Amino acid sequence: MSDAWIYACEPRLGETLGGQLCELGYRTLAQSIDAAPTVERLVASRTPGLVVVTSGIDAARTSELCTAVRALDGLSDVPLLCAVEETALGSGELTGDGDELLVAPWTLGELRLRIGRASRRFGLADHPEAEIVRVRGLEINLATYQVTIDGRPVDFTFMEYELLRFLVTHPNRVFAREALLNRVWGYDYYGGTRTVDVHVRRVRAKLGAEHAARLHTVRSVGYRFER
Amino acid sequence: MNVENFSIDLDTTYVLRTVEERGVRFVRLWFVDVMGTLKSFSVPSSELEQALAEGVSIDGSSLEGTVRLRERDMIARPDPRTFQLLPWSRTPPVGRMFCDIRSPDGIPFPGDSRHALRAAVARASELGYTFQVGCELEFFLFAEATEDGEIPRPLDRGAYFDLTPRDEGSDFRRQTIEHLEQMGIPVKASHHEVGPSQHEIQLQYHDAQSMADAVSTFRLVVKEVAHEQGIYATFMPKPLENESGSGMHLHLSLFEGESNAFYGGYGEPLSSIGQQFLAGVLTHARELTVVTNPWVNSYKRLGGGFEAPSHADWTRHGREALVRVPSARPGRPSAARIEVRSPDPSCNPYLALALLLAAGLRGIERGYELPPEAEDQAPVGAPRLPEDLREATALFAESELAHETLGERLCEWYVANAQREWCDYQRTVTEFERRRYLPIL
């Protein structure tokens, strides 16, 4: 389960989305944006798994907001949905290349589908459609937070679980320690990047040899999970 | 700007879901008193959500050690990130979490050792450092719990690094290590120590808070496994007169981002930051000793030979100094560290680490000079560590560094406990006195 951030110009769309995303299993954080065109990272610690921009009827404004959000630290490769009223479709380019458009009114099913499409563009399996992630005998149930290996439960601490979940749902990509610290632990943590090494070691020990071998150390870069 | 949070914290949800999925019926909530003794109470899973949201009311005098002055209501707030299933609990499994102690109005209680360490670590962080700690714990295994005062019987006569059929403790070590690993406490190495039935287990480096929690957990795991196997484990610093005592060597280093601030380059023992930190530890060693060595018995180990330190000195190659500086290895700058050899495994790890860190930081902030290295013996002028609990307590009571780091309340409690311990000891007529004086006086 991951965070979804909502940048809402249009409070009504924002509220609808907040409720629906909760239903889909996201933890949602919303920021309402007034007339001023500035956006900031939300104070929340972790980098989100999804960003939604809602901007009602103004097409130019929507496009501007999406660009601004993309430019924020750590948000360049997060799936982005752009939710608008139908009247905004009249003119101009609405979304960037990697972004998914959502036109009101939409159903929960459509929302789930759009998130799936946006996520796949970034090579992610981390959308609510996939509640259970399997890599051979290793199974992570994202809804119940339980991990099993060949059907046997394995006990992780919360941070071990979060690290494993993140790497397994972002497979075949190298993450620097600093990036993992920001995305998994959050910005307010001051245990230092060595904490990442400690947790990787612990996760490997619990995974056992076969699965531990998938969690690669990439020398002087960071870590990668191979699927 | 207006930020709303639609749901409760993820770590809390994680605990609640795990408890539900795994059929956990009880969760033990742990905290420590001023002497580092682990305290525990249980909440049924049905009460867990409320306990996580609001905390649980406890009698705050339980933090005061054996000298309990007054009752006061405190709130124990479980830390969901420390949630673990106890590996020795069968079905249904039992969980545990460490607690922070707060006053009823929600502020951290100044009598909470975990809070004292967190404050010291936060200070290091303000200066740009993260504090990393590795740890070697020694302990003895005896045949079984003995009657009061009887001399315990070791399980074997094995010696340092022995691998023999006599090492009945190897089964014990294997089981202990398995439990520790399951509880997220990775073990670096383990071996038979110098004394009969004496063992050592080394824990991998960690941030200080996690390490102090790991030491608390470690002591319980060792006792638990011993109990399962019908033997008795003890962290008493010096259980046998003519054998080595048990120490808890602490390996300390500071990191700035990803680089080790103690690394001085190949062939250099320490950077100037590392030297100043070490000088801080040496300068304040005497006033901190009562915390690293809290009992009457601790002083039978310190200064009692068998490589236990007796002076506030340091060395690269010697064996008896307070601090050993391992030689820097090429290509391993992250391993640069100092090894503080005085603490014993019965101490309060939170307060010990808070004070060692504060002493080291003071060395850096005030630019202390590192005294000359000890070769075969302590250099002239190296101060002697306190020789007994009374002297150590008096030095601590006067320590400005201790009061600044731990706060008045913890210092006052600590001194009261140590004084009471010394007083009880002084009043005891010992076996030594009867054996020595009855026949001749």
State how far residue B223 is from chain A, nearest Cα, in angstroms: 22
List, for residues B233-290, the tens digit of each pLDDT value.
999 999 998 889 999 999 999 999 888 999 988 777 899 999 999 999 999 999 999 9
Q: Does B81 touch chain A (CB under 8 A)?
A: yes
Q: Which chain B residue shows the shortest CA-CA distance from A29?
A: B5
pLDDT for the residue numbered B289:
98
For the stretch A144-179, pLDDT in tens is: 889 999 988 898 989 999 999 999 988 888 999 888
Task: Residue B181: list chain A partners with CB under 8 A.
Answer: 205-206
- pLDDT, one tens digit per residue, over B37-66 is 999 999 999 999 999 999 999 888 888 887
> In B266-413, which ranges are E strands?
314-315, 323-324, 338-340
pLDDT (0 to 100) of residue B333? 81
Q: State whether the Cα torsion B20-B22-B28-B32 is positive or negative.
A: negative
Inter-chain CB proximity A190 and B22 less than 8 Å: no
Task: Flag whether residue B255 sits within 8 Å of chain A, measured between CB atoms.
Answer: yes
A192–B84 C-beta distance less than 8 A:
no
Q: B262 — contact with chain A (CB < 8 Å)?
A: no
Q: What's the rounded mean pLDDT across residues A89-106?
A: 71
Q: Residue type for B147, please?
A: E
CA B240 to chain A, closest CA, distance in angstroms equals 36
Q: Do B3 and A42 touch (CB under 8 A)?
A: yes
Instruction: Report pLDDT for B429.
Output: 95
Q: Which residues of B fall within a CB distance of 8 Å from A158?
A: 10-11, 14-15, 80-81, 83
Buried b (16+ CB within 10 A) or exposed e, A134-147: eeeebbbebeebbb
Q: Find which of A85-89, A189-193, B7-11, B36-40 is predicted with most confidence, using mean pLDDT.
A: B36-40
Q: What is the DSSP letter of B384?
A: B
- Residue whose C-alpha is closest to residue B159's, from B189, B198, B191, B194: B194
Cα gap A12→B429, rounded to integer Å: 81
Contact criterion met (CB < 8 Å) for A158 and B2: no
Residue of A nearest to B93 (CA): A155
For the segment A40-46, the average pLDDT, to the nearest whole number, is 64
Instruction: Determine, for residues B3 and A28 on separate chains, whether the beta-carbon distance falls below 8 Å.
Output: no
Model pLDDT, residue A116: 82
Residue B110: is the preceding peptide bond cis (ω within 30°)? no
Q: What's this model's pTM, rounded to 2 decimal places?
A: 0.81
Phi-psi region of B378 (alpha: psi -120 to 50; beta: other; left: phi over 0): beta
The band of B215, judged by pLDDT with boundaries at 50, 70 and 90, is: very high
**Joined tokens for residue B383:** 């101060």
Closest-CA residue of B relative to A34 is: B1
- The verdict on a CB contact (< 8 Å) between A146 and B258 is no
Tell me what pLDDT residue A130 has. Answer: 57
Q: How high is the mean pLDDT of chain A?
A: 80
Over 50: is that where the pLDDT of A126 sits? no
Residue type, A137: G
Of A37-41, A163-167, B197-201, B407-411, where does mean pLDDT reach its minimum? A37-41
Instruction: Give the residue from chain B lying closest to A20, CA to CA.
Output: B6
Strand partners, A49: none
Given a cut of 90, whether residue B169 has pLDDT beyond it is no
User: What single-letter DSSP state applies at residue B61?
Assistant: G
In whole angstroms, give the CA distance from residue B441 to residue B437. Answer: 6
Give the residue, B293 or B69, on which the prediction is more confident.
Answer: B293
Q: Is B84 close to A161, i.e. CB distance below 8 A?
A: no
What's the rounded Cα separation, in Å, for the pair B119 and B134? 20
Tell me the average pLDDT across A116-130.
66
The average pLDDT across B324-351 equals 89
CB contact under 8 A, A194 and B83: no
Residues 6+ apart with CB under 8 A from A56: A9, A10, A13, A84, A85, A88
Query: Which member of A1, A22, A192 has the closest CB to residue B207?
Result: A192
Rounded to whole angstroms, the Cα distance separating B143 from B17 reads 42
Band of residue A34 on the pLDDT scale cut at 50, 70, 90:
low
B349 vs A59, higher pLDDT: B349
pLDDT at A94: 61
Determine the average pLDDT of the residues in B214-242: 92
Residue A129 has pLDDT above 50, yes or no: no
β-sheet bridge partners, residue B139: B199
Provide mean pLDDT across the span A10-37: 74
Instruction: State which amino acid sits at residue A18.
Output: G
- Please report residues of A whose CB lies closer than 8 A to that of B130: 190-192, 194
Bridge partners for B76 per DSSP: B56, B101
Question: What is chain B's mean pLDDT, rounded?
Answer: 89
Q: B287 and B177 in contact (C-beta within 8 Å)?
A: no
Q: Residue B381 is encoded by which pair of tokens?
A: 């002028």
| Mean pLDDT of all residues in B330-344 | 88
Contact at CB, B81 and A43, closer than 8 angstroms:
no
- Residue A224 has a pLDDT of 94
